[in-house]
Amino acid sequence: MFTKQPTQIIAHRGSKGTRPENTLLAFQAALDAGADGIETDVQLSADQQLVIMHDERVDRTTNGEGFIKDLTLAQLKRLDAGSRFSPDYAGTQIPTLDEVIQLLIADNFTGVFNLELKTNKIHYPGIEQRLAAYFERQPVPFRLVFSSFRAKSILTLRTLYPQAEYAKLFKTAGRQAKLMQRRHQVGGLHPDIHWVKAHRFWLPHAQLRPWTVNSEADMTYCLRHHFAGLITDYPARAVALRTKIQGGVPSWKKS
């Protein structure tokens, strides 16, 4: 038996390494792989709908062009979000936040749902209020964790929806993240794995969920340090490696 909690395996944009990222297919694949959590990104369409996509533009992952903020939900739904990954997934749509939430509820998911507010480049005025209103209307049976690179988004949403958990994303700005943690403005820290390895003497003082942990060496590093979690494009690989190193199974899964 462990004296420490097993490291949570958080699927980055779903099973991004094996399915078109941030699609219902990717999230279902992550759940099927036994991931403890899902990490994804939320933005606002031109008609103020909460949509799931990482980039501010649709160009990289779909057959369309332009900024999400300039396209309506109907226009976004007409785009093909699967073919760029593989022709096998042609016709896959960009999901809304509600579609993802309903998928998780239907799967009886009780793990971690980490929703990143993509407000560090485009601030999306009102997105925090819309998220708070949505989750007030829609209770969820899983742990809800909001994260962002933009501190103001975290602080605004935390005031509106204090019952969720909050985490600070960062690539190099460790001081700001640590200050927010000391002030109890966030509970968790989500640093770049490269930053973590460069600041290893800081590790005993924080609960970390590094991103994006894809190599076996990086996964092993996180698992042997018993980090709170790791965020990966390959949840199936990470789950298998965790079993080998730590044992245990995802707690939300029904036996």
pLDDT per residue rounded down to tens, the chain (255 residues): 345 789 999 999 999 999 999 999 999 999 999 999 999 999 999 999 999 999 999 999 999 999 999 999 999 999 999 999 999 999 999 999 999 999 999 999 999 999 999 999 999 999 999 999 999 999 999 999 999 999 999 999 999 999 999 999 999 989 999 899 999 999 999 999 999 999 887 765 568 999 999 999 999 999 999 999 999 999 999 999 999 999 976 566 754
Catalytic residue IDs: 12, 54
Task: From the options 3.60.130.10, 1.10.275.10, 3.20.20.190, 3.30.70.260, give the CATH code of 9-54+94-239.
Answer: 3.20.20.190
Whole-prediction pTM: 0.96
Query: Which amino acid is located at 254 in the chain?
Result: K
Q: Where are the beta strands (DSSP E) in the chain?
A: 8-12, 37-44, 50-52, 112-117, 143-148, 165-170, 188-191, 229-232
Cα→Cα distances 16→25, 38, 55, 162, Å: 10, 11, 14, 30
Cα separation, 239 vs 8, in Å, equals: 9
Domain spans, the chain: 9-54+94-239
Cα separation, 187 vs 102, in Å, equals: 26
